Structures are given as C-alpha cells and as structure tokens.
Amino acid sequence: MTAEQILIVAIMGMTLGFFIWGRLRYDIVAALALFACAVGDLVPTDQVFAGFGHPAVITVAAVLILSAALRNSGVVDLIAARIRRFTTNQFLHIISLMLVVTVASAFMNNVGALALMLPVALVSAAEQQRSPAILLMPLAFGSILGGMTTMIGTPPNVIIASYRQSVSGAPFGMFDFSPVGLAVAIGGLIFVAVIGWRLIPRARRTANVPSQLFETDDYLTETRVPEDSGLIGKTVQEVEAFRDGNVEIVGRARGASGAIFLPQNHVIEAGDVIILRADTDALKKLIEEHDIDLVTESGGTAKLLTSETNTLVEALVPHKSWLVGREVAALSRRVGERGAVIALSRRGAPLRERLRRQRFQVGDILLLQMRQDLMADTLLDLELLPLAHRDINLASSHRIGLAGLIFGGALAAGIAGLVSLPVAFIGAIIAFTLTGILSVRELYDNVDWPVIVLLGAMIPVGQALENTGTTLLVAEALVEWTRGLPLAVVLGLILVVTMFLSDVINNAATAVVMAPIAVGVANALGASIDPFLMAVAVGASCAFLTPIGHQSNTLVMGPGGYQFTDYWRMGLPLEILIVAISVPLILIVWPA
C-alpha cells in the first residue's frame, strides 16, 4: 500500500469508528473526515466543497422540501382519516397503517411520512385498547421499505443513481428501483403484518394497553416538598405505593446538580427536592393530592396548572429538532412563559441524574406544560412532534389536486428527459411556493441540514478512496477471497456487508462508501455494475437490526416502549427474507 492509501484507510477507519460510537453527530464526523482529507492532500483544494453542489445533494434537499409540500397539501392526512374503520381488526390495523406509510415513503421523505402517521397510530391504539408496541415498529419498518421503491424514496437511492451516472454516463431512472424495491416492500409488509409483530417481546405487546401511552416508570421529574405538603412524614416506601406503585423515587437532589439514593425507610422532610419517575396520570395525581411543587431548571418552583388556558402535552424529539444536544435550560430560555418541561422520558438508559443535567437526545419524550393557545406554534418553533390526537388537515380537493398536478408534472418532466430531475424538483418547489402550499420559511426549515452536510462532505471523501486506488485494492481483495464462488454469492456478500454497515452508521454514508467498492468488484469480475449498485441500494436501506441505524427506528423507540435488543428480533428474519428475495430478483432484472 502507498502512503496515500494508508492515510485514507486510517481516515475512513476513524470515520466509521466515530459513526458507530455515536457521541459526535454524523455531520460533524463527516466534516472532520473531509478536513483530514484536505489537510492530507487527498482531495484537491478546488474540489473540497464540490460535494455540496453534487446532483445527489441537490436532489435530497429538494425531496425534503417537496415532502413538506405534500404534507401541507393534506394528501396523507386525508388517507389517514379513511383508515379508521379498518382498525377494529388487529391485522387490518397493522397492514393499513403500514400500507399508507409505505406508499407515502415512496414519494416523500420516509421520516416525514412516519411523523405524519405516528400520532394516528398512537390514537388508534388507544381507541382499540392495543399496545402501541404492536403498531409502531411495523410502522417504522414500513416507512423504510417504502423508501426502496423509487429513486427519491431514500437518500441512498439518490446517491446510487448519481454515482452510476459518474461511472457509466447515465443515472438510474426514477422507477428503475421499483421492480426489486416493490417486491421487497410487498414481501416485507406481508411478513411484518402476519409474523413479524409476533416476534416483539410479549412484555412490550401487552404493556401500555390502557389509555396511557407509556410505561409507568418512563418520566423523570423533580418536585420540592413545601412546608404544608401531605408527603411530610411519609417514607419512600409509602410514597412509592401511591397509585398501585406507579411512582418511583429515584433519589434526592444534593447541591446544584447532584443526587443521592434514598432507602425505603427514609422519611420525607419539608424542603426535600425529590426526583421521581412516574407516568403522566400518577405524576399529576401525586402533585395535586399531596400539594408538592415542580422544580424548574433554574431551581425555582412552579405549580402544575391545567385549565382552559394551560394544558399538558407529550412530545417527541426528532432528529431535526433545535433541542437535540441542548440542556433543559435552553428550552426554558427559548419558550419563556409559553411553556415548561415537566418531565422527561428516555428509552434504553436509566435516568438517575437530575433533570437539569439532561441534554436532549433524539427519541426523548417530553411532558410539557403549555399555554393552550400557543401550543401549536411553540411545538413548531421547537420542532417537536406531538404524541396526541391532532386535527386532521383535510385540505380542499382543489388544493390536493393542485399539489398532485405540480408534483406529477415535475416527475413527468424529469422522467421524460425534458429537464434533469433536480431541475424539475426545483421548478415544483417554486410552483408550490407561488401557490401558497409552501411558505418561504418552510423552504429552509424542512431541509435536514445535517444530512446535507454529511453528503456534501462524504462525497469528496469517497472520491479520495477512488483517486488513491484504495477502492480498487479493497475490491480486488474481495474478489480474491470469493474466487470460485457463484456470482449470486458475491452479490449477496456485498448486500449483507452493506446491510451491516447501515445498521450502525447513517445509510447515506453507507451508500457513499460501498458504491465504489461494489463497482470495483463488478469490474474485477468483468460483470455489469448495475446489479452490484442495486445490491448496495437495497442493503443501505435495510437498517432493521438496531434503533440507531435509521431515524424512523429511533423515533418509535420511546412511544413504543422498545428496548435496544427488540429490533433484531423482527429485523433479523426480515433482513434474511430481503436477501432471499432481492438477490435472485436483482440478477433477473439487472443481469450481470
């Protein structure tokens, strides 16, 4: 290996390590990788920022904005309102929700499609007295499956289409992914709806069935015991027996931000700041019946007020939220008197520290007290997803028809070759803005900027892999290791390796890394590059084993009450099924 190859391998190894570690956000990791390549002279100076003008990056940004326009038009909401009659039967309940989100994900951002359907799933689960766990993982998997079916359904497909153009002169078309992607989606839907949901642990499938949405130990909050509180003189054990044991005392605050464990026989005293875990109902009753105060992030106290002007709302922190990585105090400063954080729930990690020490993470569930008249605007400002019934946006048929006409016209123009697809999408965005379906602010608010930075930075890094000959080196090693094996086995290996990477790092980064390796293997075997690129496209979208592999999986972890290990139970057989379906079908549709 040359010095350049050793350096790029070291950079890529560190980059993948940081992606898996997850302590730094993926766009920061990608920017660091690009910086290292620029300093190491692996990327020419005039090409360092070329990735941000790449057609794949423009297309992904445009699709994110178009997703907002389709959401605003009310198309998905209208369909969601029509599926209520199917929810009485459990199988129809699961399959109808999955079908809507799968079809929507084919033409809009799959995380956006999931965000639209998540409140619908939660409300319908409560109406039918079913655990949300039965519905939400299938819903997330459906959003991922739907993205495989078209070029714009998921960023990896956009990347693969653009990469094919760079190596062969022609990109994959809008529906070139459909023959394989549609078969995989249909097979996946049937598996999940009939068998897959049964693989979710029974403890999750039978929990949260009453009107409450979350388990009884979800919320972390702080309360101060005033002089006249009914808790004074009670032991920890007596308090925890409140409402059938649905309250747990985590500890007592000590100093500015610390906490100490309290034994069961500890007697509550006036002035104690008690850290509690409880569900919304038990928390509200405890505060009201025993006259205790909530502790704000500044250390002051507040009463829990629910009236015609104040309300409690549960909201989810998605990837794009302004709150991610910030402390509770940042939320308080931003919203002022419009609202306050009452409690926080986080899946997969026991919360033993004080609320004020927490930094918000993707998937956190917040219990907020808000002014009712300002609730919608405040949630929008914080980019939070409310986990409760919301008004269905039943737009007029004229508005829905206009949105369909604009979007369909852009697709037709791009497919017919009148203009390139990115240009067609930009034209559609302008039309949506001029017709009022999109506001000017939404042009920027709905772009997932970390994903754009990730792509813009990783594309030159991927090019450095090729320019240094490292991609060819890896491809030749793979060919040597698989010498004598059938082509289908080699293709399956590429698919499985891509799946594995996508389960632990961002799917767009996976596509950027694996696409040139797949092409190198194809060239070394003297085979067509198309089946190998299709294998990467399918594999990069198959993040079903962990909650961190795809944003959709992360978003349902809290509301569904899932644990980290729950995903592979349904995800592993699903990925095996996808390999069994896609490998032979790829070779039929795209012969080597």
Q: Say how many C-beta atoms besides its own lie within 10 A of residue 114's C-beta.
A: 28
Lowest mean pLDDT among 233-242, 298-307, 314-323, 550-559: 298-307
Whole-number pLDDT of residue 487: 93
Angle between helices 449-467 and 55-73 (to 10 degrees): 160
Smallest CA-to-CA distance from 495 within 509, 480, 515 is with 515
Examine residue 273 and state whether it is found in any structural domain, yes or no: yes
Specify the pLDDT at position 292: 82
- Where residue 371 sits, what CATH number does that domain have? 3.30.70.1450
- CA atoms of 420 and 414, how far apart (whole Å): 5
Q: What is the pLDDT of residue 393?
A: 47
pLDDT tens-digit readout, 335-367: 877 877 877 887 645 455 667 678 888 888 888
> For the purposes of burial, counting CB atoms within 10 Å of the CB of 345, is it exposed (0-12), middle (13-18) or buried (19 or more)?
buried
- C-alpha 233/C-alpha 509 separation (Å) is 57
Asked if residue 415 is part of any domain, the answer here is no
The stretches of 360-396 forming alpha helices (DSSP H) are 375-382
Residue 214 pLDDT: 41
Residue 394, pLDDT above cutoff 60: no
Dihedral angle over CA of 582, 588, 589, 592, nearest 10: 100
Are 344 and 229 part of one and the same domain?
Answer: yes
Structural contact between residues 167 and 522, judged by C-beta atoms closer than 8 angstroms: no
Express each pLDDT in 431-454 by its tens digit: 999 998 898 888 888 888 888 999
**pLDDT tier for residue 581 given thresholds of 50, 70 and 90:** very high
Is pLDDT larger for residue 456 or for residue 399?
456
- Whether 166 and 228 map to the same domain: the answer is no
Q: Are 32 and 113 part of one and the same domain? A: yes
Give the model confidence (pLDDT) of 89-132 as tens digits.
999 999 999 999 999 999 988 888 888 888 888 878 888 888 88
Q: What confidence score (pLDDT) does residue 410 get?
A: 93
* Higher per-residue confidence, 400 vs 496: 496
Choose one of 351, 370, 386: the last residue of a domain. Answer: 386
CB contact at 8 A, 117 and 101: yes
Q: Tell me the mean pLDDT in the region 510-519.
A: 93
Range of the domain at 370: 219-386
Whether residue 308 lies inside any domain: the answer is: yes
- ∠ at Cα 549 (544, 551), nearest 5°? 100
At residue 215, the pLDDT reads: 42
Mapped onto helix, strand or coil, the DSSP state of residue 382 is helix
Pick from 292, 286, 293: which is nearest to 243 by CA?
Answer: 286
Statement to judge: residues 490 and 562 lie in one domain:
yes
Cα–Cα distance for residue pair 489/337, rounded to 1 Å: 61
Better-predicted residue by pLDDT, 464 or 387: 464
Q: Which residue has the higher pLDDT, 294 or 415?
A: 415
**Predicted pLDDT at 245:** 66
Task: State residue 378's pLDDT score.
Answer: 87
Report DSSP letters for 78-99, one per residue: HHHHHSGGGTTSHHHHHHHHHH
Q: How confident is the model at residue 299 (pLDDT cuts 50, 70, 90)?
A: low
Kindly list the distances between the CA atom of residue 223 and the CA atoms of 217, 305, 331, 351, in Å, as whole numbers in the listed order.
Answer: 16, 14, 19, 16
Judgement on whether residues 91 and 132 belong to the same structural domain of the protein: yes
Q: Which uninterrupted H or E stretch holds 316?
A: strand 310-316
Of 198 and 555, more confident: 198
Domain end, chosen from 364, 386, 408, is at 386
Q: Is 424 part of any domain?
A: no
Of 76-80, 191-195, 390-394, 500-504, which gets the smallest average pLDDT? 390-394
Alpha-carbon gap, residue 419 to 522, rounded angstroms:
31
The total domain count for the chain is 2
Q: Are residues 178 and 257 in the same domain?
A: no
The pLDDT tens digits of the residues spanning 18-71 come to: 888 877 888 999 999 999 999 999 999 999 999 999 988 999 999 989 988 888
Q: Is residue 465 part of a domain?
A: yes
pLDDT in tens, 481-501: 988 899 999 999 999 999 999
Residues 316 and 231 in one domain: yes
Q: State mean pLDDT over 508-520.
A: 92
Q: What is the pLDDT of residues 170-221, one digit of tens each?
A: 999 999 999 999 999 999 999 999 999 999 988 777 765 544 444 434 567 7
| pLDDT tops 90 at residue 225 | no
- Kindly state whether residues 237 and 322 are assigned to the same domain: yes
Residues 226 and 121 in one domain: no
Question: Using the 8-state DSSP alphabet, how is residue 235 labeled?
Answer: B
pLDDT score recorded for residue 184: 97
Q: What are the start-end ranges of the E strands in 107-242?
A: 219-224
Query: Does 41 lie in the same domain as 174?
Result: yes
pTM: 0.78
Judge whether 585 lies within some domain: yes
